[in-house]
Amino acid sequence: MTGLLHVAWPPAPIKTERLVLRESEARDRAAFIELFASPEVGTYVGGARPRDELERVVPEVPGRRPGFFVIDLDGAMIGMITLDRRAAERRGHVRPDAGEAELGYMFLPEAWGCGYAAEACAAALDWFADALPGEPVVLCAQNANDRAMRLAAKLGFTEVERFEEYGAEQWFGVWSSATPSG
């Protein structure tokens, strides 16, 4: 089970040059279903889920928890960013007591290739550095997930180790506000 961040939540919506990071709302539900039903999105994150199943199981307001940002472009959701505690039983840790904050990101394919994910993740990491100063953030992505790997590098994550999980080679990296990459 993934743990929650203990932070004041929700923050006021965070504005970047082109985007807003905000809490999830009922009007985002259709975009969540698009995201989880997309074979392109699911390629390296466990696959797409059947749309009829999603229509049944996705709650009225999906993803309402501390550390869960909807990314909004001109009033519509284009993706999501999560900061959750990495479960102790997972492989990949940088602290002896585990439970590190872990960054996750998923965007709708039509929003790829515009730098939106990089812009939004940088703002989420800024928010995190203010909320929990000095705490590291970890990230795990399949090696084969070129886009996710390029984004991790751009954000300043550095490799800790590589290992096998879910039948694929994983890249595990860390970011810290204490050592900005520039």
- Nearest-Å Rg of the Cα atoms of the chain is 16
Three-class SS state of 36: helix
Decide whether 97 or 149 has the Cβ nearer to ligand COA.
149
Closest CB 57 distance from ligand COA, rounded Å: 19
Beta-strand pair 68-73/158-165: unpaired
Helices (H), 38-115: 39-42, 51-57
Our CB check for ligand COA shows the closer of 6 and 169 to be 169
- Residues that contact ligand COA, how many (by CB under 6 A): 19
48 binds ligand COA (CB under 6 A): no
Amino acid identity for residue 124 in this structure = A
**Per-position x/- string for 87-106, each x denoting binding to ligand COA as judged by CB under 6 A, each - no binding:** ------------------xx
**Rounded to the nearest 10 degrees, what angle do helices 116-131 and 146-155 cross at?**
50
Q: How far apart are CA 63 and CA 48, in angstroms?
A: 18
Q: Which is nearer to ligand COA, 5 or 41 (CB)?
A: 41
Does position 80 interact with ligand COA (CB under 6 A)? The reply is no
- Binding residues (CB under 6 A) for ligand COA: these are 41, 44-45, 105-107, 112-118, 141, 145, 147-148, 151, 154
